[in-house]
């Protein structure tokens, strides 16, 4: 058995690196022969590394914000992104930053199929996005930056 290991970066940057090891078949490399017990323990390590990567991508990767209906809210999603993404009741939507990418679709929320969502007026700030008059169509999950973290925006009680 040959164990091939790959170095990967954790999604949430909570654990900066992990290793994924995969058995690839019988091979001798640099006169190193691994016993079956060593392979089993390395397999356990590989499973543990994948489990750690899964936990780091699902645990601390979420934040929440509560907004009063009709209020203007600034969502700290990261500055300088060319495209912002959200998951709302209407589905997956994208907002193209006109400061970075000038297209006919910039400055508004676009549905995944390319149609205009006719959502709340949104502008880009130094911290992220500003949504004017927060409504039901704005409640959902907003992707923060490029690292996969999510900000949940919902109505306050």
Report the distance separating Cα 109 and Cα 86, nearest Å: 9
pTM: 0.57
pLDDT tens for each residue of 83-138? 889 999 989 999 888 888 777 788 889 898 888 887 778 999 888 899 999 999 99
Q: Which residue from 56, 122, 125, 57 is spatially nearest to 86, judged by alpha carbons?
A: 122
Match domain 63-155 to its CATH number in 2.60.40, 2.60.290, 1.10.8, 2.60.120: 2.60.40
Structural domain boundaries of the chain? 2-58, 63-155
pLDDT tens for each residue of 71-94? 999 998 887 888 889 999 989 999
């Amino acid at each position: 058995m040959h164990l091939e290991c790959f170095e990967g970066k954790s999604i949430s940057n909570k654990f900066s690196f992990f290793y994924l090891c995969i058995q690839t078949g019988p091979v001798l490399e640099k006169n190193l022969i691994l016993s079956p017990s060593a392979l089993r323990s390395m397999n356990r390590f590989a499973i543990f590394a994948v489990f750690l990567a899964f936990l780091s991508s699902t645990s601390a990767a979420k934040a929440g914000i509560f907004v009063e209906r009709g209020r203007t809210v600034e969502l700290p999603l990261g500055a300088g992104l060319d495209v912002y993404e959200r998951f709302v009741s209407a589905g997956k939507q994208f907002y193209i930053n006109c400061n970075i990418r000038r297209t006919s679709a910039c400055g508004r929320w676009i549905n995944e199929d390319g149609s205009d969502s006719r959502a709340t007026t949104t502008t880009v700030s130094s911290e992220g996005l500003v949504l004017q008059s927060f409504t039901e169509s704005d409640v959902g999950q907003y992707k923060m930056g490029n690292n996969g973290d999510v900000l949940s925006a919902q109505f306050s009680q």
